[in-house]
Chains A and B, each alone.
Chain A
Amino acid sequence: MLSDRRPILLANARIVDPSRDLDFPGDLLIADGVIREAKRGIHATGVPEGTEVIDCDGRLVAPGLVDMRAFIGEPGAEYRETLATASQAAAAGGVTTIVCQPDTNPVIDDPAIVDFVLRRASATAIVHVQPMAALTKGLEGTELAEIGLLKAAGAVAFTDGVKSVVNAQVMRRALTYAGDFDALVVHHTEDPNLIGDGVMNEGEFAARLGLFGIPKAAETIVLERDVRLVALSEARYHAASITCAESLAVLRRAKEAGLNVSAAASVNHLTLNEIDIGSYRTFFKVSPPLRSEDDRTALVQALSEGLLDVVMSDHNPQDVEVKRLPFAEAAPGAIGLETMFAAGLRLVHNGELQLTTLLKAMSTRPAELLGLQCGTLKPGSPADVIVADIDAPWVLDPAELKSKCKNTPFDEARLQGRVLRTIVAGRTVFEYASA
């Protein structure tokens, strides 16, 4: 699979570099693991000897995607996903950097575990893996994790995964302390008490299914609280997964007030809504829950305006044992590494979003927030690059997914756009073999 590190010329491509708002026909030269140059006519003027020349035939060349939220399962739940299988899925989906979450077993709340994940990833994964570490010890929400030491060990941000820090005092101290280390605090904004027995969006549809609802206020209250705590600190704060129009209003006010606040939405919340649950389809049970169509369109609008910073996969593998259950009893989560780009392209094909905007939210912005050098095609940047045919139609066959679990809401969905080649640090790690 891994090719040698011969220079690569991606010729005759549509080059989109969202970090510089560039979209032009040209060639991209990669050598020694970095991007040498991206411009028109490199091919004609000559390339280094031994260069592998790939004719892209007008197809997209863009920075590899940076998925800011993926739950992997290694260590502790390797039956769900390993760093290796996640990286295979990522490569097939054009994701060149996976940001894994700390809710493993053991929890990534100790520098030695950050070290383990990084070593394990470099030994087994074919894309970059950057771990987030716990914000509080054991994700318990009571004592601060060793933010300084964890950051020094390589943690790119701090989060309690799918758990919210309920105690406002703990959250305030976490934000204040993290600010001293310029550490990014990433928070799942959902009040567990307001979630209660809720399993999907609160409203008519939940009432009809006889399922208990999760009010949008469960999210908005925590986000609003956090924003006010950020104002008391020097912290950099990122809302991990927001889902509703009301949260966007909070985000807008925070940004207008000049606070260092950013937010992500999952590709699921941008492309699906609560109606997709249909008759209790547990592959559409995610946390936070899918919201109304009005919320979905508000998220897309916010993404288009640049208010919403990041689109992530929220990749969360769950096996059939915990999905083939009555809806309320099924585990939340959907896989997404392999489909985030194709699913996101739905918005582009529908005319709801510019391609550059989508790519920026999936590469440039997360890289900036996490302090990574990727997410750009600037000369000298790491050669994490994808080639994609954004128009190719296909039907998702779960059997072909590389992830260990097949819990995708895009099961048998019609998608348009597929990654043809994924290059990580100058090496081709995935090539689509058309059947």
Chain B
Amino acid sequence: MNIAAKSTFVLHRRHLLGIAGLSADEISGLLDLAEEFVELNRQIEKKRASLRGRTLINLFFEASTRTQSSFELAGKRLGADVMNMAVANSSLKKGETLIDTAMTLNAMHPDILVVRHHASGAVELLAQKVDGSVVNAGDGAHEHPTQALLDALTIRRNKGPIERLTVTICGDILHSRVARSNIILLNTMGARVRVVAPSTLLPPGIERFGVEVSRDMREGLKGADIVMMLRLQRERMNGSFVPSTQEYFHYYGLDQKKLGYAKPDALVMHPGPMNRGVEIDSAVADGAQSLIREQVEMGVAVRMAVLEALSRNLPNI
């Protein structure tokens, strides 16, 4: 039997394209709704029927394991028909444009499109051309809103209200949509946000994002409640962003010693997939202070909340 939803939160928007523009109330509303799904997901009967009859298409132009499977599971648990578009084998490889693909899918009347694309702004461009709701599952180095929401849920469940916390985000901020969405969300919720990275991996203008910027882990982690690590892609070595993975790990990799600069009860997060030994040491990733596995669990709940809150705003005819 279905547990009746307690939260009646509705996201009065057609799309979720980013955290930018969301109010603190909207963020809290989504997180409160997600809390219910955390409970639901721990039961044997995990299904609801709130999206029954709805069609959700996962359109991933960039490979993803956890985000795509998490959205798939979220959609299915809410009763939607879920289709995964394997874009790597699709007409896009045959020269069809993003817009043509959007128009083609739109003709199939999906209620919700979940889209990931390697180019910043591509999801928004696609959203302009379709009739249903679009959820940004990551666009270039721009935004990854559901990741920031699941991170916020994880933080809130472990540390209480976000507004009192100091959160340090470490690593490749320049190329990271996760960092951008998190910075915006944490600032909106009133947290104190720091970023730590070598200057080559910081976007020019980052100091205008309302963050404290540091190039040193000891300084940046001091007093931190949460340490968020970002993935460093190995291709960055070729672009002269950093000289080597060894040097990067030496200065910016999170090991027990560097974690010791943060508060004793600081917790560690990582959006995955991890490069063990590059940005994070296995002892920390798998250690008692790690929230990394919990983040994955929260991912499904948050995505259910987003789908539910958006679908409540969809026309019902």
Contacts and interface: CB of A to CB of B under 8 A. Distances in A.
Interface residues of A, number: 22
Given A202-B204, A206-B203, A207-B206, A326 B121 contact: yes
B120 A207 contact: no
Given A324-B99, A328-B140, A211 B120 contact: yes
Contact of A329 (B119, B143, B204): B119
The dominant DSSP class at the B interface is mixed
Contacts of A211: 120-121, 140-142
Contacts of A202: 204-205
Given A210-B142, A213-B204, A329-B119, A324 B97 contact: yes
B284 interface: no
Interface in B88-108: 97-99
Interface in A159-218: 202-213, 215
B139 interface: yes
Interface residues of B, number: 24
Given A279-B121, A326-B122, A328-B119, A210 B180 contact: yes
A280 B124 contact: yes
Contacts of A326: 98, 117, 119-122, 125, 140
A209 B204 CA distance: 12
Given A280-B120, A329-B119, A210 B140 contact: yes
Nearest to A213: B204
- Which of A205, A208, A209 has the most chain B CB atoms inside 10 A of its CB? A208
Contacts of A321: 97
B208 A209 contact: no
Interface in B201-227: 203-206, 208-209
A309 B154 CA distance: 59
B177 interface: yes
Interface string A210-241: 11110100000000000000000000000000
A283 interface: no
Interface in A314-357: 321, 324-329
Contacts of B208: 204
Given A207-B209, A210-B143, A327 B121 contact: yes
Contact of B177 (A204, A210, A327): A210
Interface of A: 202-213, 215, 279-280, 321, 324-329
Closest 9 CB pairs between A and B? A210-B142, A204-B205, A326-B119, A280-B121, A210-B120, A207-B203, A210-B141, A326-B122, A204-B208
Interface of B: 20, 97-99, 117, 119-122, 124-125, 139-143, 177, 180, 203-206, 208-209
Given A202-B204, A208-B180, 11 more contacts: A202-B205, A203-B205, A204-B209, A206-B204, A207-B205, A209-B142, A210-B177, A211-B120, A325-B98, A328-B120, A328-B140
